[in-house]
Amino acid sequence: MQSLVAWTWDGNESWLVLLALTLWAGVPLVTGVALPALYLPLVLMLWSLIARGVALELIDQHDGWHPFWGPVFGIGSLVAAFCQGAAFGGLVAGFNVHGTAFVGGPFMFLHHGYAVLTGLTAVALYVLAGCAFVYVKSNGETRRRAARIARMAALALGVGTAASWLLATSAGPLVLHPGDPARLPIWITGVAVLAGGLLVTLRSFTGDPHARRSDRPAVLSTLAVYGGGLLLAGGLLYPTLVPPSITVHGAASPHTTLLFLIIGVGVCIPVILTYQAYAYWVFRGKLTVKQEATTA
């Protein structure tokens, strides 16, 4: 697993920088209001990612899994995933906003404990994605263990997503109208894609080391889970970006700024995707025990 992740983890930096730049330039009002309210989970996330990167580099200098830096890598991954979900939960729960400024303390994002639920759900989501990657890139006991954990993560993710959706209105100022014509198609599509992805996930992670034909359904079902979740999250918030009053139209930058941003991001995204596709092609196939020993 250490050899599998060694060439992929630093790609997160590119996407984080691109996302931060897009939010800062595209919707500066959201950045100005949401960042002070979410400083605690976001700073913890960044420190966790730093610790994870340092741990992975230092682990690589030792023969085998280091007794100190190994747990640091695992805890850093866990905290980073939880903080992302907690930040989203805090956003859904809403902030105290006076005019265009956040008014409140650093722990306000934990309002009603909703952020804890979304944080744990995000952990299940990332565990499922990690298991899918390990599943398609490994054999033997590592593959069987990834399949077993992936099925448990899929069940936890289904429960957490359903609970997060049902409790969204009680946690904050969002008002959901089931018959809303603007949101209903998004909700239906998101639920269908997410539920279908979870069902296929439970069936495709077989744990059979010889069932290579099941690799593709495992990956596609995991991507479907992500896609369905994004649709549900977008349908839950739209048109608000910071509940209850800051909308995407009111927070957007001027037209010229958005046009410049679209061009810049439109150029960067294909470059990043090309680089990552090339890296995946170079390291394609399954990592055998012999290759792992050679790499070490």
| pLDDT above 50 for 105 | yes
- Residue-wise pLDDT for 46-65, tens only, equals 999 999 888 888 887 777 67
Distances in whole angstroms, Cα of residue 222 to Cα of each of 134, 135, 199, 282 = 13, 12, 10, 23
The β-bridge partners of 97 are 102
Q: Which of the pair, 295 or 252, is modelled with greater confidence? A: 252
Q: Which of the pair, 67 or 130, is modelled with greater confidence? A: 130
The token duo for 43 is 């700073």
pLDDT-above-70 percentage for the chain: 90
The token duo for 144 is 């069987």
The mean per-residue pLDDT over the stretch 130-150 comes to 90
Band of the pLDDT at 290, cuts 50, 70, 90?
low
* C-beta neighbour count of 159 within 10 angstroms: 13
Residue 167 dihedral angles phi and psi, to the nearest 5°: -95, 0
What is the reported pLDDT for 212?
A: 54
Q: Which of the pair, 204 or 8, is modelled with greater confidence? A: 204
CB 224 within 8 A of CB 196: yes
What is the reported pLDDT for 148?
A: 93
The residues, ordered by sequence, that sit 6+ positions from 177 with a Cβ below 8 Å of its Cβ are 183
pLDDT-above-90 percentage for the chain: 29
| pLDDT above 70 for 96 | yes
* C-beta neighbour count of 103 within 10 angstroms: 13
CB 186 within 8 A of CB 207: no
The mean per-residue pLDDT over the stretch 288-294 comes to 54
CB 20 within 8 A of CB 58: no
94-108, 163-177, 181-195, 258-272, range with the lowest pLDDT: 163-177
In terms of Cα–Cα distance, which of 100, 190, 110, 117 is closest to 157?
A: 117
Q: Collapsing DSSP states into helix, strand and coil, what is residue 176?
A: coil
The mean per-residue pLDDT over the stretch 238-247 comes to 77
* C-beta neighbour count of 21 within 10 angstroms: 14
| pLDDT above 90 for 16 | no
What is the reported pLDDT for 296?
A: 47
Cα dihedral value 179, 185, 187, 192, nearest 10: 130
- Residue-wise pLDDT for 148-203, tens only, equals 999 999 999 999 999 988 888 776 666 555 556 667 788 888 889 999 999 999 88
What is the reported pLDDT for 280?
A: 85
What is the number of alpha carbons within 13 Å of residue 68 lying toward its C-beta?
A: 5
Element of type H or E holding 156: helix 140-166
Residue 183 dihedral angles phi and psi, to the nearest 5°: -105, -25
94-103, 110-119, 247-256, 263-272, range with the lowest pLDDT: 94-103
Q: Which of the pair, 188 or 85, is modelled with greater confidence? A: 85
Distances in whole angstroms, Cα of residue 262 to Cα of each of 139, 144, 167, 294 = 42, 43, 35, 44
What average pLDDT does the structure give for the chain?
83
What is the reported pLDDT for 152?
A: 95
What is the reported pLDDT for 122?
A: 96
The identity of residue 94, as a single letter, is G
